[in-house]
Amino acid sequence: MASAIAGLAADKKATDIVALDLRGVSGFTDVFVVCTGNTDRQVKAIHDSIHKGLKDDHRMLPRRVEGLTESRWVLMDYWDAVVHVFTPDTREYYRLEQLWGDVPRIEIDPAVLGTGPAADEPDADA
């Protein structure tokens, strides 16, 4: 699920995408996916992409969404995964990765993010 969320965020040019493995540490979720949008409009676009993609492709809706009005920090709770979409200043202020610094990071395939070798290869279906 973290890879799916990361891919949907990357589709809207989210940066610094990180997935934190909270299994065994947290009772409320298994993973945090944290990413950055450069502006509040981009943060909203990233939210919209994740929301639509998980709804259309995985038939999942968030249990709760917070922060859409100001779009400086949008939190999307999908039970097993909680998504945090920040503007740069807000991400720096809250430093979520440092707060949860002892948990392992989940490796996300660079091709999912559009940065790996597979991203440069032509689509076989094209």
Report if residue 112 sits inside a domain: no
Q: Domain containing 77: what range?
A: 2-100
Confidence (pLDDT) at 126? 40
What value does the mean pLDDT of the chain take?
Answer: 90
Report if residue 116 sits inside a domain: no
Structure tokens belonging to residue 3: 């890879």
**Which residues pair with residue 36 across a beta bridge?**
15, 86
pLDDT digit string, tens, across residues 1-59: 999 999 999 999 999 999 999 998 999 999 999 999 999 999 999 999 999 999 999 99
pLDDT digit string, tens, across residues 61-108: 999 999 999 999 999 999 999 999 999 999 999 999 999 989 999 988
Are 34 and 6 within 8 A, CB to CB?
no
Are 5 and 50 within 8 A, CB to CB?
yes
Report if residue 80 sits inside a domain: yes
DSSP secondary structure string for all residues of 4-44:
HHHHHHHHTT-EEEEEEE-TTT-SS-SEEEEEE-SSHHHHH
Report if residue 29 sits inside a domain: yes
What pTM was estimated for this model as a whole? Answer: 0.87
CATH code where residue 68 lies: 3.30.460.10
Report if residue 122 sits inside a domain: no
Three-state SS for 36? Answer: strand
Report if residue 114 sits inside a domain: no
Distance CA(69)–CA(46), nearest Å, equals 14
